[in-house]
Every structure is written in C-alpha cells, then in structure tokens.
C-alpha cells in the first residue's frame, strides 16, 4: 500500500524535506500557516490543506516540522489541529526538536485517540535537508518505525531507531550538546592561534589530519576563518535546543556545566541581535570577550 504523506511546517528545513518526499514519488499533502510557503510544493503536484485537521484527515503519515514544543502542541491539539481531523491509525511524526518529556505526554494523548506517534528530529542542517542526507533519530514503537522507514529514507541517509517515545529527542539533545561544545572548542582554538600570530587556516588544515578532526572543525572552522555565518542552523534555534537540554537536566538534577556555558554564549549571541546567524557565530562572542 502506498502511504500518503502529509507535511505541516514548511520552513527552512520542512520545505526541502517535503520536496524530497514528493521527488521520491510519495503522494504529498501539505499545510502551512502561510499558504505562500507551500506554493512551490503545490506547483509540483502536492495538495494544499487550509488546516492541520484537514491535512490529518487526508494522509496516512503526518510529518510536523515547527520551531518549538508549544508549536507542536498547537498543531496537534489546538483549534483546527490534527486531533480534530485524524482517523484512527494515523501516524504523526515530529521532526523538529522538542522536549523529550513533552513528547512522551503528546504520544500518550494521541494514543487515546488511536493515533501513533514517532519523534524523529534531524541533524544535518539546510544542506542536508536539500540533499536528502539528514541524520534522523527516531523514538516510538518499533512496528510504527518500520512502517514509516521508507519515507524517512527519502529524506535522510542515516536513520537510527533509538528507542521508545522521546528517545529520538534525547538523541537530538545529545547531538546539540556535542555540536555546541565543539563549536566553542574550535572557536577557542582559532582565537588562540590568532593571538599567537599563527595562520588559523594552516592550524585548521593541520588539525583536520589528526585526532582533533571533526565535521565542526571542517565546516564551522572555515566559517570562522571566512567570517561567513549565513545560517545552516540559526543561533536562536540552537539556543532553544540548549534551553530544552538544560530544562530536562534541571528536572532530573543532572549537572551539565559545559552545556550551560554553551547556552550562555548563545544567549549573548541572540541578545546582541545575531540570532539569525548560524550558531557558529558564537565565535563572535568569544572574540569580543578576548578583544
């Protein structure tokens, strides 16, 4: 049976991900609060729905890609939301970065309506979304994951089933901890090289050949050298993700001092009016602190 995919949330990530579903030959229906956001997909043959409820009534798997936990809740349970139109057996897939605790609650509420849920946040940024090479981390029931996996494969290259509801969001939180901390480490290394009068480009080249090699050093290190922070992943969204990490840590009395420091750098970056830049622009904050 061919599954009909629905997609709600057609921003910098959602639109290309939905386009990859369509390009893979999967029947596609879409919803966006701003109809213009869906126009390119409608032009390629997708069906537009004016509400999330109408979208839910006309698809088998409904992907949601919105900014934050309250936005997911509004799409699911708010006026004109998914539960108003969903048929039993619908699978809802949250592909944004959302609170793990809230995700588990959402899954329980949807199950009462005979709706399945997967949490499937992604890593790879806008480029990965466009190229269909995202890393997708999935939580939920194994059988539901297997049902949706062929659709994930149209959007991502590395698809990992992590565990029960919320496990995908936990994996994404771990990803953001590592990414944030590594951005700070790369920024400090390049600033140290600069202060010592050594060519940062040559330092980066040397480090890429050794144990310090990383995707962050490769991509974001070059951004820092070029002072080019056109967003692949906006600082204000990374700030939101780190807030989720620290809220979950606080709830369980877990000390994450490195993650807390990253959040403070992001707070400073967003507070200085640079929240629309890539989160690698934390380099700017560290540079200001040093100079």
pLDDT in tens, 174-232: 999 999 999 999 999 999 999 999 999 999 999 999 999 999 999 999 999 999 999 88
Q: Catalytic one among 141, 147, 149, 172? A: 172
Among 72, 81, 262, residue whose Cα is nearest residue 180: 262
Domain ranges of the chain: 5-164, 170-290
* CATH class, 170-290 region: mainly alpha
Query: Taking the alpha carbons of 109, 112, 113, 118 in that order, is the dihedral positive or negative?
Result: positive
CA atoms within 13 A on the CB side of 191: 16
52, 81 Cβ separation under 8 angstroms: yes
How much is the mean pLDDT over the chain? 96
Task: Quote helix, strand, coil % in the chain, to nearest 5.
Answer: 55, 15, 30
31, 55 Cβ separation under 8 angstroms: yes
pLDDT tens column, 133-152 = 999 999 999 999 999 999 99
Task: State residue 1's pLDDT score.
Answer: 67
pLDDT tens column, 244-287 = 999 999 999 999 999 999 999 999 999 999 999 999 999 999 99
5-164 CATH fold = Rossmann fold (3.40.50)
On whether the pTM is more than 0.95, the answer is no
Active site annotation includes 114: no
Q: Give the angle 230-231-232 at the CA atoms, nearest 5°.
A: 125
């Amino acid at each position: 049976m061919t599954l009909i995919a629905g997609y709600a949330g057609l921003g910098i990530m959602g639109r290309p991900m939905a386009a990859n579903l369509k390009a893979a030959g999967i029947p596609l229906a879409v919803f966006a609060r701003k109809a213009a956001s869906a126009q390119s997909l409608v032009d390629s043959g997708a069906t537009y729905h004016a509400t999330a409820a109408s979208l839910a009534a006309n698809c088998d798997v409904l992907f949601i890609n919105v900014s934050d936990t309250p936005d997911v809740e509004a799409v699911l349970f708010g006026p004109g939301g998914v539960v108003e139109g969903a048929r039993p057996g619908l699978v809802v897939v949250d592909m944004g970065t959302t609170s793990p605790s809230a995700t588990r609650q959402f899954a329980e509420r949807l199950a009462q309506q005979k709706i399945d849920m997967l949490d499937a946040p992604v890593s790879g940024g806008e480029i990965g979304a466009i190229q269909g090479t995202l890393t997708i981390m999935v939580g939920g029931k194994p059988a539901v994951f297997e049902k949706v996996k062929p659709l994930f494969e149209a959007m991502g290259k590395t698809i990992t089933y992590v565990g029960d509801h919320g496990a995908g969001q936990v994996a994404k939180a771990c990803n953001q901890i590592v990414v944030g901390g590594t951005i700070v480490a790369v920024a400090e290394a390049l600033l140290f090289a600069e202060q010592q009068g050594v060519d940062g480009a040559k330092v980066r080249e040397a480090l890429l050949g050794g144990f310090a090699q990383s995707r962050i050093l490769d991509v974001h290190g070059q951004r820092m050298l070029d002072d080019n922070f056109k967003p692949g992943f906006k600082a204000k969204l990374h700030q939101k993700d780190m807030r989720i990490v620290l809220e979950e840590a606080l709830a369980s009395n877990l000390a994450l001092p490195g993650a807390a420091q990253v959040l403070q750098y992001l707070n400073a970056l967003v507070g200085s009016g640079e929240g629309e830049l890539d989160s690698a622009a934390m380099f700017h904050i560290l540079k200001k602190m040093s100079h």
